[in-house]
Amino acid sequence: MSIPLTRYPDLKKPGLLPRDVWVWTPPQYDCHPDARFPVIYMHDGQNLFYPEKAYKGITWGVSEKIRKLSTFGFIEPAIVVGIDNTTNRMGDYLPTRPFTTPEGRAFVAKLKAESVEELEMFNFVADRYLALIVKTIKPRIDRDFRTNPERNRTIIMGSSMGGLISLYALVTYSHIFGNAGCFSTHWPILGQFGPPYLREYLPEAGYHRFYFDHGTAPDDIGYAPYQAAVDEIMVEKGYQFGHDWLTRIFPGAKHHESAWRKRLHLALRFFL
């Protein structure tokens, strides 16, 4: 493990499984001791830095990307906070508020009545997970590192279910997070309840930035109609494509870390 990281072990809150949190600082952090840095909070922390910890041995290469892009002046250097997932990943990352309408509650009750296996396997605690980030992790990072804690310098990113929880984090804590990077967002799990939620709760344009993408390989192409619906909502809410919102489609790209690491630089340059 050659990348120097600071580890916060076994962070937890009631109702959540414990997890490690990893912090990487860019080379400029030590070179400029008076400077403050933007912070990127990323889910699935195991997949960010070390191949031996990552899914199928492929990382996002986030430290390498930030080091290279910032060295050549394409982006500001940023601190990265990687939050490990747990065996309750689905329950931690699935937004709950879209299902709180009467129709959503009826839908969940129907699934439970049918004993849908996925519901029995997970504890759905996305709001507690976000509280862990906002009330425990972020205050520690702001205390222990020279961060720029302002909203427009605070980014949250993830892929698949991690894309969903990143969007949910910004919508829920729009005063904390200024930017959300949502790679291959797993829209289908929200079904019909995603668009009404976004129409009601997506913050007004002018204060936030969103990056969305997906590939066209069989395991990603199913996201296309959902993403198109979300894009329409972005327009309705006043977001300007290329200015405070970006959606990209990548022909042939798969649902995998190897694909996300190839396009991570686009989100970094958009936000930083």
Q: Is 52 helix (H, G, I), strand (E, B) or coil?
A: coil
Residue 222, token pair as written in the block: 């199913």
Query: Which residues have a Cβ under 8 Å from the Cβ of 88 and sit 6 or more positions away?
Result: 16, 17, 122, 123, 125
Whether residue 263 lies inside any domain: the answer is yes
Per-residue pLDDT tens for 227-242? 999 999 999 999 999 9
Contacts of 196 by beta carbon, 8 Å cutoff, 6+ apart: 98, 101
The answer as to whether 236 is a domain residue is yes
29, part of any domain: yes
Q: Which domain holds residue 130?
A: 6-271
DSSP letter string over 114-129?
TT-HHHHH----HHHH
SS3 250: strand
Say whether 43 sits in a helix, a strand or coil. Answer: coil
Q: Does 248 map to a domain?
A: yes
Detail the DSSP E strand segments found in the chain. 6-11, 19-24, 39-42, 79-83, 154-159, 179-183, 209-215, 245-250
Count Cβ atoms within 10 A of the Cβ of residue 151 and give its class: 0-12 exposed, 13-18 middle, 19 or more buried: middle
Cα–Cα distance for residue pair 107/250, rounded to 1 Å: 33
The percent of residues above 70 in pLDDT, for the chain, comes to 96
Angle between helices 194-201 and 224-236 (to 10 degrees): 20
- Indicate whether 1 belongs to any domain: no
Q: 178-190, pLDDT tens digit by residue?
A: 999 999 999 999 9
Residue 8, pLDDT > 70, answer yes
In a domain, 130, yes or no: yes
The per-residue pLDDT for range 141-163, each reduced to its tens digit, is: 999 999 999 999 999 999 999 99
Which CATH number characterizes residue 181's domain? 3.40.50.1820
Beta carbons of 204 and 238 less than 8 angstroms apart = yes
Reported pTM? 0.95
Structural domain includes residue 105: yes
Tokens representing residue 163 in the block:
């894309």
pLDDT in the model for residue 104: 82
Is the CB of residue 49 less than 8 Å from the CB of residue 89? no
Q: How many domains does the chain have?
A: 1
